């Protein structure tokens, strides 16, 4: 979701990963791409061009931004890598999915609908809270409210690990794609 208000919320963990990737790889500052309503940054990684994008629509409408971006940059959807939150996974867990349905995630559903395909890679970053014993507590009753909350102080260490693990997954996927 766009804006400072949502910057460190669970729904924006994908932006956190993309920001860290950009920082680590020396990408230029993000600028607004008006045609796609996205903040974008472009650079060369492992000899290949990489375009990072952070849609400035709300998560559940991000498909329109990604669709415009893929058309304007002539990006094949099979080369698209989406990094997003996943309430079905415990915080700190990372899963890579390719050519799979949305599993109820409205933002992913928006992309699939707008692109007309599910043939892209997803790096799913778990955001489900854990109990004090470290076990997942299950999905919260008010999902919308939960995903728009910031991470608790006691989750910071696990959050940093999750971002690092997702960053490594993104680097692995991109390295494989760029070869």
Q: What does the pLDDT average to over 89-101?
A: 93
Reply yes or no on whether the pLDDT at 34 is more than 80. yes
Catalytic residues: 11
What pLDDT sits at residue 135? Answer: 60
Q: What is the pLDDT of residue 144?
A: 84
Least confident of 61-70, 99-108, 136-145, 169-178: 136-145
Quick one: pLDDT at residue 177? Answer: 75
The tokens for 59 are 């998560």
Global pTM value: 0.93
Could you tell me the maximum CA-CA distance found in the chain, to the nearest angstrom?
A: 48
- 124 contacts: CB under 8 Å, gap ≥ 6: 84, 85, 86, 89, 94, 95, 96, 97
**18's tokens:** 């993309």
CB atoms < 10 A from the CB of 127, how many? 26
Instruction: Give the pLDDT confidence of 136-154 residue by residue, as tens digits.
Output: 577 778 888 889 999 999 9
Q: Identify the pLDDT of residue 32.
A: 97
Rounded percentage of the chain residues whose pLDDT exceeds 70: 94
Report DSSP letters for 60-127, one per residue.
GGHHHHHHHHHHHHT--GGG-EEEEEEEEEETT-EEEEES---TT-HHHHHHHHHHT---SEEEEEEE
Query: What does the DSSP 8-state code read for residue 28?
Result: P
Q: Are the CB atoms for 52 and 22 separated by under 8 Å?
A: yes
CA-to-CA distance for 60 and 46, rounded, in angstroms?
A: 32
Average pLDDT of the segment spanning 90-103: 93
Mean pLDDT of the chain: 92
């Amino acid at each position: 979701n766009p804006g400072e208000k949502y910057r460190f919320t669970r729904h924006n963990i994908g932006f956190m990963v993309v920001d860290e990737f950009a920082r680590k790889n020396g990408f230029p500052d993000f600028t607004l791409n008006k045609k796609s309503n996205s903040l974008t940054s472009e650079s060369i990684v492992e000899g290949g061009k990489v375009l990072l994008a952070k849609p400035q629509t709300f998560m559940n409408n991000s498909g329109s931004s990604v669709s415009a971006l893929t058309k304007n940059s002539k990006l094949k959807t099979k080369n698209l890598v989406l990094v997003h939150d996943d309430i079905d996974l415990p915080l700190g867990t990372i899963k890579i999915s390719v050519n799979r349905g949305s599993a109820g995630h409205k933002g992913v559903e928006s992309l699939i609908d707008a692109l007309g395909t599910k043939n892209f890679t997803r790096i799913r970053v778990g955001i489900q809270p854990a109990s004090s014993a470290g076990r997942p507590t299950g999905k919260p009753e008010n999902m919308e409210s939960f995903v728009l909350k910031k991470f608790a102080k006691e989750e910071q260490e696990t959050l940093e690990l999750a971002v690092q693990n997702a960053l490594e997954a993104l680097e692995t996927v991109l390295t494989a794609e760029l070869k």
